[in-house]
Amino acid sequence: MLLYRIFLLLYPLAARLAGFFNEKARKWTRAQASAQKEIEQWQPERPVIWMHCASLGEFEQGLPVLQAIRKEYPGYEILLSFFSPSGYEPCRQHPVANKVIYLPLDGPHTAKKWINAINPALVIFVKYEFWYYYLQILHNRNIPVLLIAAIFRPSQPFFQWYGGLYRKMLAFYHHILVQNKASADLLATLPISVPVAVAGDSRFDRVLEIAQNPISFPAIETFLQGKKVFIAGSTWPEDDKALRHLVSNTPEVFHIIVPHLTDAATIERCLQTYPDSISYSDWNNKWTKEPNRTGRYKTLIIDTIGMLSSLYRYATVAYVGGGFGAEGIHNVLEATVHGVPVVIGPIYDKFREAVELVERNGICVTANAIELEAEILRLLNDENQRTSIGEIAQQYTREGGGSAQKALQLIQAKRLLTR
């Protein structure tokens, strides 16, 4: 507990220092200063359901559940909170919520003031959210708290000798919905009595919904004109280094690069890395005036958040970034739902869907930049392989739907919303 309190003291100080060099840290620090006051000024007219997501990826998991709840329980207001600017910024005006806000950093007084202000009827945390004081106060007040789309691995602190605080936080939940049976089996080894159910991953529901209602991008479609299209999504500098040679040496292919970060420095770095490239914002302003100049550009750098999941449907072959970094890959389901063959780097073991797709031969794993380029070129030139891998991946993704309905059924069966 002492280490946790030290962390709560040091984290804001570290963020302020990082803010001198990092825009994301500056945004977080400014938001923390105003979040508590903002929530106290909010005056909901109906009982509140509060969902908290760390960032954008967790929101995509939580969204199908919120949509199902809003449809079934229209008499409640929905509060959506984020810890990271990369989640808050693109979602701050999302229609699923009545209020979108940053969550103040945990602490005994902060958590009490926050919960007093909103008095939630139900709280839903997504995947990896464990804040001791928030959970303790909610538990003491008998406010039901769900953890959804959770996934557990033996290496996590919950299963280590030093993980007492983490195990205590798990015990504060009323119900835990996990993605797979392996996670449920792990939790069964712990001395906690919280009900656990296997409900799958609501990201499947989200990507299936997007695939059924895709967004079109006319400015981008002017480039395609029957060309093969390579899309690299959620890339980091390590990915860009690995892909630069491929992009430079496939002029007959049109390339779309979607960096994970879209700040000005990242976009400029990508424009310098990839030859004959233009940012989406630049081209979007030009395309109606210069539609015949598409041949001048071979690569489009996407500098707008929220496009990637719909863009993948244009891909002949896709690469999902992060697999050459310590944290691992990003969301492969956004591509596989469209039947697109996906290539990834070697760091993917934390992601259930990637592991299961590898077992089914529904995704291509590469160990280094040389293998990466060779695999992408192979798929670009082999339609049969593209079709085979894409069909396996798409079928797997379709089979994964239904998690949001399982969460809703739990809420109904346990009568967690009765007001």
Would you state the pLDDT for residue 31? Answer: 81
Q: Does domain 214-399 have CATH number 3.40.50.300?
A: no
Q: Tokens 């040496």 belong to which residue? A: 249
Q: What is the pLDDT of residues 347-366, one digit of tens each?
A: 999 888 999 999 999 999 99
CA nearest to 52, candidates 141, 195, 149: 149
Mean pLDDT of 233-245: 94
Mean pLDDT of 251-268: 93
CA nearest to 215, candidates 103, 306, 108: 306
Q: Is the pTM of this model over 0.75?
A: yes
Name the helix (H) or strand (E) containing 68. Answer: helix 56-72
User: Distance between CA atoms of 385 and 317, rounded to whole angstroms?
Assistant: 11
Q: Do domains 2-202+402-413 and 214-399 have the same CATH topology?
A: yes
Would you state the pLDDT for residue 322? Answer: 94
User: How would CATH label the architecture of 2-202+402-413?
Assistant: 3-Layer(aba) Sandwich (3.40)
The CA-to-CA distance between both ends of the chain, in Å, stands at: 35
Residues 6+ apart with CB under 8 A from 363: 332, 336, 342, 343, 344, 354, 357, 389, 393
CA nearest to 232, candidates 294, 324, 296: 324
Q: What is the pLDDT of residues 98-114, one digit of tens each?
A: 999 999 999 999 999 99
Mean pLDDT of 153-182: 95
Residue 419 has pLDDT above 70, yes or no: no
Domain boundaries, the chain: 2-202+402-413, 214-399
CA nearest to 232, candidates 55, 60, 61, 373: 373
CA nearest to 78, candidates 60, 62, 57: 62
Mean pLDDT of 356-382: 96
